[in-house]
Amino acid sequence: MSDSTDEVALQVDAVGLLCPLPILRLVKRTRGLAAGTLVDFLADDPSGRKDLDVLCQLRGHQLEQIETRDGVTTYRVRLG
């Protein structure tokens, strides 16, 4: 995933997990991280986008980029 700012993103891999496990993994791995931290959240669960949208709304995160390749979606999220 390319980013013009060259910021390094923390990667949270939830491929192969089904709802609610992907979002729970993301919450656990990002707990305590500073606002503004970039996270690449990888998931192949069909409900992942909907769950992530709700999480972003609740926590003030920003979904900056979405890229799907070979059935895996990478969501770039900036923590709020």
User: Is 19 among the residues known to form the active site?
Assistant: yes
**Catalytic residue selected from 10, 17, 19, 55:** 19
Distance, in Å, from the CA atom of 73 to the CA atom of 42, rounded to the nearest integer, reads 6
Closest by CA position to 68, among listed 39, 35, 46, 36: 46
Tokens of 36: 């503004």
The catalytic residues are 19
